[in-house]
Amino acid sequence: MTSVISPQATSLNKFEKIKAEKDGLAVKQDLSHFAQIGWEAIDEADRDYRLKWLGVFFRPVTPGEFMMRLRMPSGILTSAQMNVLADIVQRYGDSGNADITTRQNLQLRGIRIEDIPDIFNRMDAVGLTSVQSGMDNVRNITASPVAGLDASELIDVRDLVQQVQDMITGNGKGNPEFTNLPRKFNIAIEGGRDNSVHAEINDIAFVPAYAPSGDLGFNVVVGGFFSAKRCEAAIPMNVWVSPAEVVSLCRAILEVYRDNGLRANRQKSRLMWLIDEWGLDRFRAEVEQQLGRSLAPAAPKDEIDWEKRDHIGVYPQKQPGLNYVGLHVPVGRLFAADMYDLARLAEVYGNGEIRLTVEQNLIIPHVPDSRLDALLQEPLLQKFSIHPAPLSRSLVSCTGSQFCNFALIETKNRATAMIRELESELDLARSVRIHWTGCPNSCGQPQVAEIGLMGTKTRKDGKTVEGVDLYLGGKVGKDAHLGTCVRKGIPCDDLKPVLRELLIQQFGATPKTL
């Protein structure tokens, strides 16, 4: 059921009016027309907003060069898909690239509106979709990047993730039932022990748990989110479900949220605001009513009892004689040549599969013992190392001002340069998770980091300059909790000595002896 909200209703905010006037998915029919008239002539609401329902993002920073956000359930793609994506970005020369995102996904850049019909045909031919990946839709559904490979895994969730995506997106073709949510929505399904998905920052997350009967299923947490105004960790819903119930529970929660979520103020529309208004007991009861049956209470404990792994390096799979190899991709950025090479490596040394992580890195699985040495000698592994330096290893960064108009600072290039300088000055016994994000929207998740840096504007020598707010204390994996802001408005030019001191005082770094 799509909601029937009158576009004339005065209480509707700008985005509710845009959605009420015309469903986002409707622009699918207009793509050939858009291709003919060019980006400058497209109606602004279609170009700047509705195209995001198809995963096509107008970039005010690079007008005419669109971004395309895909969907990669569980972060898995094939070499054939990677080759098609490489073909797509290659035709844009220096403007074309791809970023691995903090939701285990890929975003392509440089896209021209006139090419979109052809791009969609090519993607369709290899089973890729970008539908419903932006605006008031459910984002890429995340899972352990080693689902089905990891010997310690409890539930292989890959099929479940695909089923939830298919339910929400109408098998990747677009599903008007879920194209008018009050706001964006994040779902994660964890089948392993280390909370690789950051369950705590999703609107719905499933974490493995044994029911008192001994059956293995999931405890459910709800309402986790970050926004400029408020950040909350997810709270237990007091529900346990079997794997067979995951899709229907997702559907019921989405329907309850769609039909009852708050729509007046975009800053107060995420699921947690509805849970606040109703209280958890009523929210749970409404979901049960939508489902048409009662839900089992949560299992007394979940099975998240490991520290989070980053998967960089070589690890044996549960399949004897096979390994997965985690490559470090600096701040997640790929170019066409890298993408072709990755597809080739996955085919030559593995079974063609490639996996992405929420740390913006990637994994080549299914490498036989006998092929490992040869893979490790490949030139691409110089660029995407299995032994990155300790700070680079855990560095995560959002897009920042290079492409994002919300950004208050440049992030990816600055983060990479600063981390390299710090690594040249300091010895570190361990990796330190540093996350950069260009504005308070927190796409780079500074609150989950040991050291989080959030872009801001600040004053220095009487001038407005790029700066950061400093977050400390984020803990991931078992007993995950969010970090908090400890210092505001550090000019980026003054940041390196602050980080250096912090790494020495709190993370055991020692100055290198020259």
Interface contacts to ligand SF4, rule CB under 6 A: 398-400, 404, 406-407, 437-439, 441-444
Tell me which residue has its CB nearest to ligand SRM. 227
Task: Determine which one of 148, 444, 455, 467 is catalytic.
Answer: 444
Q: ∠ at Cα 395 (441, 232), nearest 5°?
A: 35
Catalytic residue among 59, 139, 183, 333: 183
Phi, psi of 50 (to 5 degrees): -65, -30
Known active-site residue 443: yes
State the CB neighbour count (10 A cutoff) for residue 17: 16
367 membership: H or E segment, kind and range: strand 362-368
506 token code pair: 């709190």
- Is residue 496 flagged as an active site residue? no
Give least dist CB 92 to ligand SF4, A. 20
For 468, the 3-state DSSP assignment is strand
Identify which of residues 204 and 404 has a Cβ nearer to ligand SF4 in the complex: 404
Distance CA 355, CA 78 (A): 9
Whether the Cβ atoms of residue 263 and residue 15 lie closer than 8 Å to each other: no
Structure token pair of residue 250: 């997702």
How does strand 451-460 pair with strand 434-437? parallel
What residue 438 binds from ligand SF4, ligand SRM, none (CB within 5 to 8 A, per partner kind)?
ligand SF4
Do 82 and 98 contact (CB within 8 A), yes or no? no
Q: Establish how many alpha carbons lie within 13 A of residue 131's alpha carbon, considering only the half-sphere containing its beta carbon.
A: 24
Distance, CA of 253 to CA of 221 (rounded, Å): 12
Whole-number minimum distance, CB 342 to ligand SRM, in Å?
18
Residues with Cβ within 8 Å of residue 370, at least 6 apart in sequence: none
Residue nearest to ligand SF4 (CB): 438
Binding site partner of 49, from ligand SRM, ligand SF4, none, Cβ cut-off 5-8 A by kind: none
| Binding footprint of ligand SRM on the chain (CB under 6 A) | 57, 59, 67, 69, 99, 101-103, 105, 107, 133-134, 139-140, 183-184, 186, 201, 225-228, 270, 398-399, 403-406, 441-443, 445
Residue reference for tokens 């950069």: 436
Tokens at 126, concatenated:
């290899």
- Quick one: what does residue 79 bind among ligand SRM, ligand SF4, none, with the CB cut-off 5 to 8 Å set by partner type? none
What, of ligand SF4, ligand SRM, none, does residue 172 touch, CB below 5 to 8 Å by kind? none
Which of 398, 439, 443, 492 does the annotation list as catalytic?
443
Q: Is 438 a catalytic residue?
A: yes
Q: Per the structure block, which two tokens stand in for 443?
A: 């796409």
3-class SS letters over 131-147: CCCCCCCECCCECCCCC
243 makes contact, choosing from ligand SF4, ligand SRM, none, with CB < 5 to 8 Å by partner type, with none
The question of whether 420 is a catalytic residue gets the answer no
Q: Which of the following is catalytic: 69, 71, 258, 433?
A: 69
Neighbour-count burial of 22, counting CB atoms closer than 10 A to its CB (0-12 exposed, 13-18 middle, 19+ buried): middle
Name the minimum Å distance from CB 267 to ligand SF4: 14
Of 184 and 328, which has the nearer Cβ to ligand SF4? 184
> Based on CB atoms, which residue is closest to ligand SRM, 14 or 459?
14
Least distance (Å) from ligand SF4 to the CB of residue 414? 12
Nearer to ligand SRM, 107 or 361 (CB): 107
SS3 94: helix
Closest separation between CB of residue 404 and ligand SF4, Å?
A: 3
186 binds, among ligand SF4, ligand SRM, none (CB under 5 to 8 A by kind): ligand SRM
User: 270 touches which of ligand SRM, ligand SF4, none (CB within 5 to 8 A by kind)?
Assistant: ligand SRM
Q: Which is nearer to ligand SRM, 356 or 428 (CB)?
A: 356
Buried b (16+ CB within 10 A) or exposed e, 377-404: eeeebeebbeebbbbbbbbbbbbbbbbb
Instruction: Map tokens 């996955």 to a residue.
Output: 346
Nearer to ligand SF4, 27 or 443 (CB): 443
Least Å distance, CB 262 to ligand SRM, is: 12
Q: Cβ–Cβ contacts within 10 Å for residue 61, how many?
A: 14
Q: Is 69 annotated in the active site?
A: yes
Q: Which is nearer to ligand SF4, 39 or 406 (CB)?
A: 406
Nearer CB in complex with ligand SRM: 265/506 = 265
Cβ 417 to ligand SF4, closest distance in Å?
18
Q: How far is CA 160 from the centre of its chain?
A: 18
226 interface partner picked from ligand SF4, ligand SRM, none, CB below 5 to 8 A per type: ligand SRM
| Annotation says 183 is catalytic | yes
Minimum separation from the CB atom of position 441 to ligand SF4 (A): 4
**Rounded CA gap, 76 and 72, in Å?**
6
Residue positions annotated with a catalytic role: 69, 183-184, 438, 443-444
